[in-house]
Amino acid sequence: MDQASLAPAYDGDGRLGFDPRVAVRRLRRADAELGRVIDDVGPFDLELQQAPTLLHSLAEAITYQQLSARAAETIFARVRVYLPDAPESVAAERVLSTSDEDLRAAGLSNAKLRAIRDLAQRVADGRLPTLAGLTSMPDDDVIDRLVEVRGIGRWTAQMLLIFRLGRPDVLPTEDYGLRKGFAVAFGAGPDVPSPAQVAERGERWHPYRTVASWYLWRVAESA
């Protein structure tokens, strides 16, 4: 099925855009070893993360980069003062009208400050869609649009696809935790497999690679 024809995966109520039961059955048939992982881990219970706007979601992602969760949470709580729960363009203008001094005082580094300003400018001038607008776009198009933003890479865009939009077929092969889980799950030896190795096996998990990814993260956490 063409991704663009799927029902919107993000509508503010936290629902996934696919049936996890169907996904798990498909993965069991496609990969018996992964099926054993599913048995060990248990039910798939990914919960979507809520965000009022794309601006908010990506500003949070930028803030959290290379920081502990506790430090990032503290800083983003201060940054949120300048991210009102208002229409996206209004919130973007609020960020753009906030001084560098105030944003630095919130705890943002110069690099993150520039990234959030670039993000807000792209929202304000319409170069970035809203979260609702993203729901009708194929995964690759979403990634292409988001990585144009300063400080946003492919991994961050994939995390948004999985945890904000609930897309079914995302495989972040660069993710170290996922590759570590892959090594444990499939007996790949002491070396963490390459992204190419993960991608090759991941072909059999299409069109539910998000669900396979979630299970591999759980394996990595318990290893």
DSSP string, 52-100: S-HHHHHHHHHHHTTS-HHHHHHHHHHHGGGS-SS-HHHHHHHHHHS-H
Tell me which of 67-81, 108-122, 183-197 is least confident. Answer: 183-197
Q: For 139-162, what is the mean pLDDT?
A: 97
pLDDT computed for residue 14 by the predictor = 62
Q: For 55-80, what is the mean pLDDT?
A: 95
Shared domain for 17 and 111, answered yes or no, is: no
Shared domain for 31 and 128, answered yes or no, is: no
pLDDT for residue 187 is more than 60 = yes
Shared domain for 58 and 159, answered yes or no, is: yes
Measured distance CA(220)–CA(178) in Å, rounded: 7
In the chain, the number of structural domains is 2
Calculate the CA 218 to chain-centre distance: 16
pLDDT computed for residue 162 by the predictor = 96
Shared domain for 151 and 63, answered yes or no, is: yes
Shared domain for 92 and 136, answered yes or no, is: yes
Domain containing 152 equals: 54-163
pLDDT for residue 5 is more than 70 = no
Tell me which of 9-18, 88-97, 171-180 is least confident. Answer: 9-18
Q: Model confidence at 51, in pLDDT bands (50, 70, 90)?
A: confident
Distances in Å between the alpha carbon of 92 and those of 29, 59, 169, 206?
46, 11, 31, 37
Measured distance CA(154)–CA(88) in Å, rounded: 23
pLDDT computed for residue 6 by the predictor = 33
CATH number of the structural domain spanning residue 180? 1.10.1670.40
